[in-house]
Structure 1
Amino acid sequence: MSRHGEKAREVLLDAAEELFASYGIDAVSNRKIAEHAGTANHSAIKYHFGSRQDLLEAMLQRALADMRRCRAALPSAAGGPQASLRELVTVQALPWVYSFDALGRPSWRAQFLFQARLHPDLPSIVGDSLRDEVLGAAAQGRELKEFEGIPEMVVKSRALILGPMFLGLCAQYERTVNEGRQRGNWESVGYFLVDSMVGMLAAPSTAPADFMGFAEG
């Protein structure tokens, strides 16, 4: 693809990210995205991406690529056989936060991903990675001392909450940054979320867990 073509794709991705974040994915037409990107070609999405689904998948893949670059830049990547729950959550969560921080201002990535997790045809790439890392450790027989005394169904159910919890706060903070109302910085948000998620996952269980059958779905 030519440099001009790559630039045109990036402009369309940026326009779609902003509009989807602001109005919801199903409320924005391909024509509106093209107009917001400043092109007179109303078929630009079809030309550069193919289908609407291809556009959405390209947006998710771009977000994943940015996150993975941030993860590779971390001083060390915890997550080995002896990793603690905090290390597992940190290595999953902080690269996303750093990738949001690396975007220009205003930015729409966290808000778009929050919208995307509600879309039936899209994977929840943030929530799935957080959930799978925690549950994968247990499935592989790794003993996480933080889970001692907590029923397995409670751990599974709490893991399902991680994605909405993480993305909801990141989307909210991104909006305050865009509006010039933020306090602190993205890194402080990241560590607050790590503390919150670890605390929620490892909190004592004080109620019967038999109502949590949704965790099997």
Structure 2
Amino acid sequence: MTVRAERGATTRELILITAERLFAERGVYAVSNRQISEAAGQGNTAAVGYHFGSRTDLVRAIVRGHSQEIDRIRERMIARVRGSRRIRDWVACLVRPTAEHLDALGTPSWFARFSAQVMTDPTLRGVMAEESLGSPSLVHAVEGLRPCLPDLPPEVRAERNDMARQLMVHVPAEREQALADGAPTVRAGWHDAATGLVDAITGLWLAPVTEGP
């Protein structure tokens, strides 16, 4: 039974890695379970369904596997800035943990592109929200940021929150794609890329609001 359990765990991990790569490269619904099983070297083409059930459960497992490490990094960062009233400190707690995790994954990685694919799908966005965006460390970072923000009209605050989320999802995905393609990047490393993103989002929150028509 132990050998069987170990073999099952290995198969499960291989499917997760393969599915993440294919979803990142082609899109979540452009890849069938059969294609994932075959690319993972499984003779049983129903292996994905056997180990994970639905497509949603598979996506959830991929997100959960990364979120735990990202949470650990964010908790460490929050401990350093707790009590701060600087917008930049809390924006960094939102941006840098993912960048640090992607750096640790090496090149090529697929999680940033996978995340972008999931966040653009209305039916799967909730999975990312539950597993990643709803993490305690992220909630703490958002709560730390909220009192630091300027007094903005509710509609402007909502609009800029959407803009910031788009930047945090798609900028890392574009960089990850460039690295995978061997293309030149504006910033040399993930740390510097995160610095640029923190600068941009901080500036977004502090930008003036134009009144009137």
On whether the aligned pair clears a TM of 0.5, the verdict is yes
Do the aligned residues in 2 keep the contact of 1:25 with 1:115 (CA within 8 Å)? Answer: yes
The alpha-carbon distance between structure 1 residues 166 and 127, as it changes in their structure 2 partners (threshold 3 A), is: farther
Shift of 1:167: 1.5
Most deviating of 192-201 and 120-129: 120-129
Q: Distance in 1 between matches of 2:133 and 2:165?
A: 3
Pairing partner for 1:155 from 154, 157, 170: 157
- Aligned-CA RMSD value: 2.6
Do the aligned residues in 2 keep the contact of 1:162 with 1:197 (CA within 8 Å)? Answer: yes
**1:113: which partner in 2?**
115
The alpha-carbon distance between structure 1 residues 97 and 158, as it changes in their structure 2 partners (threshold 3 A), is: same
Pairing partner for 1:83 from 85, 96, 111: 85
Check if 1:204 corresponds to 2:208: yes
For each residue in 1:170-202, what CA deviation from the matched residue of structure 2 results, as whole angstroms up to 9, or x when unmatched?
011001111222431111111110110010111
**2:26: which partner in 1?**
23
Do the aligned residues in 2 keep the contact of 1:114 with 1:164 (CA within 8 Å)? Answer: no
Do the aligned residues in 1 keep the contact of 2:102 with 2:111 (CA within 8 Å)? Answer: yes
Most deviating of 68-77 and 199-208: 68-77
Q: Distance in 1 between matches of 2:44 and 2:73?
A: 35
Higher RCO (CA < 8 A, seq sep 6+): 2
The alpha-carbon distance between structure 1 residues 64 and 127, as it changes in their structure 2 partners (threshold 3 A), is: closer
Q: Provide the TM-score with structure 2 as the length reference.
A: 0.83
Structure 2 residue identity aligned to 1:108: W
SS at 1:102 equivalent: helix
Most deviating of 128-137 and 156-165: 128-137
Shift of 1:76: 4.1
Number of aligned pairs?
Answer: 202
Q: Distance in 2 between matches of 1:200 and 1:188?
A: 18
**1:164: which partner in 2?**
166
**2:14: which partner in 1?**
11
Q: Distance in 2 between matches of 1:118 and 1:99?
A: 22
For each residue in 1:137-193, what CA deviation from the matched residue of structure 2 results, as whole angstroms up to 9, or x when unmatched?
54xxx3x2x514x32321221011222112111011001111222431111111110
Q: Distance in 1 between matches of 2:140 and 2:73?
A: 20
Q: Distance in 1 between matches of 2:163 and 2:143?
A: 13
Structure 2 residue identity aligned to 1:22: E
Shift of 1:77: 3.9
Pairing partner for 1:58 from 38, 57, 61: 61
> Could you tell me the percent identity over the aligned residues?
32
Structure 2 residue runs without a partner (length 5+): none
Q: Provide the TM-score with structure 1 as the length reference.
A: 0.82
Shift of 1:63: 2.0
The alpha-carbon distance between structure 1 residues 19 and 208, as it changes in their structure 2 partners (threshold 3 A), is: farther
Q: Distance in 2 between matches of 1:198 and 1:128?
A: 22
Bigger helix share: 2
For each residue in 1:99-154, what CA deviation from the matched residue of structure 2 results, as whole angstroms up to 9, or x when unmatched?
1111132111100000000122222446778799547854xxx3x2x514x32321
